[in-house]
Structure 1
Amino acid sequence: MQIAQNLAPKMNPASNQLKSPIFLLGSHKSGTSLLRSLLDSHSELFAAPMEMHFFKCMGYWVDYRLQRSWPHDLSIEEKYTALINSIESRNKNKNPYSDSVLPDACDLDLFRSCLESSNPKTNTELFIAYVNSLYYSLTGKTLDCNIRLVEKSVENAEYAPLLSHMFSDSKFIHIIRNPYSTIVALRKSKTKSCYPYLGGMAQSLHNSYYNLHKNQLFIKNYLVIRYEDLLTSTQEVMQQIADFLNIKFSESLIQPTLLGKPWGGNSSSNQAFQKISLSPLHTWKENITDLEIQLVNKMLLPAVQEFGYPTLSASRSLLMPAPQEPWFNYAKNRSFLRLMGQSALESS
């Protein structure tokens, strides 16, 4: 590929290796963005300010329903294009519920020139080039080889074993949240003008919790924390995380930032916060529907029980529609719930 010579750095930053990268795992609306923001300003870390979706860009089969993609055999040029398009779309992102809203934060020309000059031979080398090119496009500087990457993408829970193989010194932090609370937050973030179809959301949560269960069996450096504990005991949990990551604890670890600047959150209520808010611990209880309770009980009950969350019971007939639930979503939601109930019976 033709490289813009005036943009290519004297020492190609895409060639830098990654030292003990850190991968944050969890479903949408589980607290991964908050956790990343708490790690963002630490002097030893570079927290990628968006989900990089590397495996999706590389043509891997992604099962996570809200990022699902079929497998594709891509050429190196097609992989470059997918990564460049991913950064370009992030530059245009203005969705307030997104994990990061950074219009035009990346210099696309710098990213492209750095990536295309990397000459990777493997997907591991391309991942390294992707990280270094991202950092270069954000800062105009080369990523110091002693600075560790912090990266979160929802589909990484599926590919944690492969990431562990790619980077033998990598560490994983999987954050989980009360499934009842999570499905409410996820539904509210996806709701436009009416109550949505919940099937894809429920399947995505199931995928994340299933992979958590599996990953703990095979991956050594795998820490699981609860979102609720992070909110109520922030300093204690971040001290635990600092010890796990072998980094020095500092006050920056309890102040959420994005690229070093105060981060206002990506709450489903679309309200920015100045400090960590405890409202997510309670507000979901006022908004959860009986349909959501039933879906969690049929698909996520093992996670509810394993992590000490109280089991809820529906109080109304499921024949009653949820608030603002149109007939077509009503039919799809009840059909999905019936299917999940049948699957639960067959597996019991």
Structure 2
Amino acid sequence: MHNNQIKERIFLIGCPRSGTTLLQSFLAAHSQVASFPESKFFQRLIYPGSMRTRLGIASKRAKSNLKQFLHDIDREEMQNIFPAYTLFIRQYTRSFVRLLDTLTIQEGKNCWLEKTPAHIQRIEYIEKLVPDSKFIHIIRHGQDVVASLYDVSHKYPEIWHGAWNMDKCVQRWINDLQISSQYSHKRNHLLISYDSLIENPQTILEKICNFIDIPFEESMLENRTAAAKKIIRNSEHWKESVGGVLQKKQSQKFNELFDEQQRKYIINQLKSVEVDKIYQKLNLSTHDQLS
């Protein structure tokens, strides 16, 4: 998968509703970074524990998902990048990487950023299949994520595979936070706090640029809104505010959606994972710790 014209292959991951699209919009505004709507590629290619995955065979959803992705980016003519009888996970991955490499070079850029939050649960596979890739994790306060997951899944149950209950929202955040914790020591992983991004975007973006080995550009702040329009599908209505004014609305939705008893229950569930210790381990800001 070596390509001298591609400098970095980056995966932006995190628990859904943690600010992945917001951070993607900043990075997509960089002159060297190409980015796209969520591909869900590895999410639909690999199902850990399944017999097909154990045999190295792609899931049955892989081909239809790729067709949908090419349709979404209006590049259906590039289907020939994928062999007609592709069967194995590695075959699909080589073709997918070649696709993103090609799209990036066509844009006159040398880095690509793939953003699919659920890929946080496929890191082990991606690292093996896409050598030298880098990962940016974004982590947001648990109460805010739970409230946002609960809200969006109830508004768009057909997209989110049903309305999520409180326990499903809490468990998803806990699982993904613990995954980030497991990779915090690796040099090809960078963990970012959502709240720090909102409060000091330039400082955080400079840190990310240093990690990617590209210079910080003012365009990342100035052109974020325009970049956001290119990475959000028309059907993703819950992302419409991404290009707007940055503002922190911590716990506002949490207090609106849940009554006092529900809030206490959620907070107790979140505290059970010793969030403060995990944040300390990740060297992230703890000003947004649970109360």
TM-score norm. by structure 1 comes to: 0.64
Conserved in 1, the CA contact under 8 Å of 2:136 and 2:192?
yes
Distance apart, 1:47 and its partner CA: 1.4
1:49 counterpart SS class: coil
Q: Does residue 34 of the first structure (1) align with residue 22 of the second (2)?
A: yes
What is the alpha-carbon distance in structure 2 between the residues aligned to residue 15 and residue 209 of structure 1? 32
Deviations 1:62-87 (A, max 9, x none): xxxxxxxx6241799x8496333114
User: Which letter does structure 1 place at the counterpart of 2:17?
Assistant: K
Q: Which residue number corresponds to residue 50 of structure 2?
A: 71
Deviations 1:252-291 (A, max 9, x none): 22232576747789685x7536544204335335325242
What is the alpha-carbon distance in structure 2 between the residues aligned to residue 295 and residue 267 of structure 1? 27
What is the alpha-carbon distance in structure 2 between the residues aligned to residue 202 and residue 174 of structure 1? 18
What is the alpha-carbon distance in structure 1 between the residues aligned to residue 197 and residue 206 of structure 2? 11
Q: Does residue 158 of the first structure (1) align with residue 130 of the second (2)?
A: no
- Cα distance change on mapping 1:258 and 1:21 into 2, 3 Å: farther
Q: Does residue 291 of the first structure (1) align with residue 258 of the second (2)?
A: no
What is the alpha-carbon distance in structure 2 between the residues aligned to residue 87 and residue 291 of structure 1? 40
Extract structure 1 runs of 4+ deviating beyond 6 A: 119-122, 262-267
- Cα distance change on mapping 1:88 and 1:212 into 2, 3 Å: same
What is the alpha-carbon distance in structure 2 between the residues aligned to residue 241 and residue 142 of structure 1? 22
Q: Which residue number corresponds to residue 225 of structure 1?
A: 192
What is the alpha-carbon distance in structure 1 between the residues aligned to residue 108 and residue 54 of structure 2? 29
Q: Does residue 83 of the first structure (1) align with residue 62 of the second (2)?
A: yes
- 1:280 maps to which of 244, 249, 254: 249
Q: Which runs of 5+ in 1 are unaligned?
A: 1-13, 62-69, 92-102, 313-348
Q: Does residue 186 of the first structure (1) align with residue 139 of the second (2)?
A: no
Q: Which residue number corresponds to residue 238 of structure 1?
A: 205
Q: Does residue 197 of the first structure (1) align with residue 165 of the second (2)?
A: yes
2:52 counterpart SS class: coil
Q: Does residue 58 of the first structure (1) align with residue 58 of the second (2)?
A: no
Distance apart, 1:305 and its partner CA: 5.2
- Cα distance change on mapping 1:284 and 1:245 into 2, 3 Å: same
| Bigger mean CA deviation after superposition, 121-130 or 240-249 | 121-130
Q: Which residue number corresponds to residue 99 of structure 2?
A: 133
Distance apart, 1:247 and its partner CA: 0.5
RCO higher in 1 or 2 (8 Å CA, sep ≥ 6)? Answer: 2
- Cα distance change on mapping 1:121 and 1:47 into 2, 3 Å: same
What is the alpha-carbon distance in structure 2 between the residues aligned to residue 124 and residue 258 of structure 1? 35
- Cα distance change on mapping 1:74 and 1:157 into 2, 3 Å: closer
Q: Which runs of 5+ in 2 are unaligned?
A: 158-162, 280-285
Deviations 1:67-112 (A, max 9, x none): xxx6241799x84963331144457xxxxxxxxxxx743333x232
User: Which letter does structure 1 place at the counterpart of 2:250?
Assistant: L
What is the alpha-carbon distance in structure 2 between the residues aligned to residue 53 and residue 261 of structure 1? 21
- Cα distance change on mapping 1:40 and 1:113 into 2, 3 Å: same
Q: Flag the structure with higher helix content.
A: 2
- Cα distance change on mapping 1:107 and 1:135 into 2, 3 Å: farther
What is the alpha-carbon distance in structure 2 between the residues aligned to residue 187 and residue 90 of structure 1? 26
Matched-pair identity in %? 19
Q: Which residue number corresponds to residue 6 of structure 1?
A: none
Q: Which residue number corresponds to residue 274 of structure 2?
A: 302
What is the alpha-carbon distance in structure 2 between the residues aligned to residue 87 and residue 310 of structure 1? 39
What is the alpha-carbon distance in structure 1 between the residues aligned to residue 72 and residue 107 of structure 2? 23
